[in-house]
Amino acid sequence: MQLKRILVPLAGTSVDPEVIRVAVVLGKPAKAQIVAIHVIEVRWNLPLDAILEPESERGETVLEAAVKVAEQAGAHIETELVQAREAAAAIIDTARDLCRHEIPVVALGQGEDGVGLVDTSRAQDLESGPVAEQRRTTKVLR
């Protein structure tokens, strides 16, 4: 399978640079589009579009650092800062948006064992399961 798009959720942790480097290595042969996102989780007692300046600034810093790592690795990435009730649901929503045209998406993320891959090329994988059942509306900030 030749990768066309790679979604990279970033949490602002020490593993983020390695996740970006892995995405670049995977995406370079096919010149895949790499999209890095950072999700700001909005508490339920606030409106989804609440202005959360400290969190937004931190998210911008995370994404700017990702762009620098990608550039050092010789790649260009796109970034999105998203506000949502739950990060997992926002990541799934973004992956669904990227694969609407049946283009495979591989989401990279950190787990307890390091960097992991999730093949989301089949839309039904994003339509079922506990994360999909908990999906919430998200707001893309940029």
pLDDT at 69: 97
pLDDT at 80: 95
The residues spanned by each domain of the chain are 5-140
pTM of the model as a whole? 0.77
Class of domain 5-140: alpha beta
pLDDT digits (tens, 9 = 90+) for 94-122: 888 887 765 556 666 665 555 555 555 55
State the Cα–Cα distance between residues 103 and 122, nearest whole angstrom. 9
